[in-house]
Amino acid sequence: MQQSGSKALKVGVFYDGSYFTHVSNYYNYVHSHRRRLHIGGLHDYIKHMVAEREGTRPNLCHIIDAHFFRGRFTAREANEKTNQLYYDRVFDDVLMYNNVQTHYLPVKDMMGRKREKGIDVLMALETYELCMLKRYDVVALVASDGDHVPLVRKLHALGCKTMLLGWDFEFTDQETGELQTTKTSTDLWNEVSYPLPMHDLIEEGLRDDDEVIRDVFVLRDSSRDTEQEGFERPPVTMVDEERHRSTVMSLMNGYGFIRYPDNNLFFRYDDLQGFGFDELAINDELEFNIAVNHKGQRVARNITRVDL
């Protein structure tokens, strides 16, 4: 591959969809930045990284294909989940606006649990076939699974370089208290041409107020961008219309618990109405509705301050 900086490069981007969604939700709900990943901004970042590694300019790095792979509920199953069909359609719009082609397989029922089946195989086959036909200079993978190692080796055999956008992080689930760990396969890190440890690169970019890193995230004050990213918070079902009162039991980083009989009620910063999370203190009296979240747990919603 020429390194003169004058040669246009062909880039293909391939997403493990469930992984991308998981990482985006982490930044929106857990990380202090409180923003979702923005697909258009991520593509721009990929072009900058390819240009940096290949010794050329970003405007000579062209993403000629982008593909998104994920399992999907049937229409009947999605209809049984509150607003799921709407969220699916919104996210399809996001991908369409960003010229990302979708590849869905039906979610399978395995031992009573809904699981994706065959997505990694489909992603590998499509990526390899497209690379053979279009001869990408660089394939960028948004993935973490070591099962992609054979794909990477096959791409290298075609003379294609590979870039991996991977994340390593862990956090405590706010609602269950369980430790959640996300770790990219070491074998995959070692195999690709250009490994990008995004957890570190994003932290560094946010500290330095890097414009390219800032644009990897949706703007909080842009309702259009927020809607188009399609990662709405998990739907809830209202238990009743009655307003309840109780006091704040504990406060943590962006979430807390309200005293309530049997099990205390979890709430998030964006459940508050008319005031900010930083205005709350232990024992403040609140008024709220009770809902059931996607895990079947009772939570507080539509929270107001009694003294306001």
3 state SS for 224-274? HHHHHHCCCCCCCEECCCCCEEEEEEEECCCEEEECCCCCCEEEEHHHECC
Class of domain 237-305: mainly beta
Task: Please give the pLDDT value at position 252.
Answer: 76
pLDDT score for 237: 62
Query: For the packed helices 84-97 and 39-54, what is the interaxial angle rounded to 10 degrees?
Result: 40
Do 61 and 54 meet the contact criterion of CB atoms below 8 Å apart? yes
Q: Which tokens is 240 given?
A: 């009743």
Question: Which pLDDT value is given to residue 2?
Answer: 44
The pLDDT profile of the chain, 308 residues, written as one tens digit per residue, is 444 457 899 999 999 999 999 999 899 888 989 888 999 999 999 999 999 999 999 999 999 999 999 998 888 887 777 677 777 888 888 899 899 999 999 887 766 566 778 899 999 999 999 999 999 999 999 999 999 999 999 999 999 999 999 999 998 876 667 888 999 999 999 999 999 999 999 999 999 999 999 999 987 543 334 334 444 455 566 667 789 999 998 887 677 889 998 778 888 888 898 888 888 889 999 999 998 876 667 889 999 998 75
Beta strands 285-292; 108-110: pairing state: unpaired
Domain regions of the chain by residue span: 9-229, 237-305
Q: Which pLDDT score, from 0 to 100, does residue 159 have?
A: 97
**Which pLDDT does position 295 carry in this prediction?**
63
Q: What is the pLDDT of residue 254?
A: 74
Among 75, 77, 105, 99, which Cα is nearest to 89's?
Answer: 75
Q: For residue 232, what pLDDT is reported?
A: 47
Residue 298, helix vs strand vs coil: strand
> Any idea of the CA torsion for 21, 26, 32, 37, to the nearest 10 degrees?
-10
Are the C-beta atoms of 137 and 11 separated by less than 8 Å?
yes
Fold match between 9-229 and 237-305? no
| pLDDT, position 270 | 82
Helices (H), 75-210: 75-79, 84-97, 119-134, 149-157, 186-191, 198-207
* CATH homologous superfamily of 9-229: 5'-nuclease (3.40.50.1010)
Strands 108-110 and 113-115: antiparallel
Residues 6+ apart with CB under 8 A from 132: 158
Residue of 289, 286, 281 whose CA lies nearest to 304: 286
pLDDT score at 241:
79
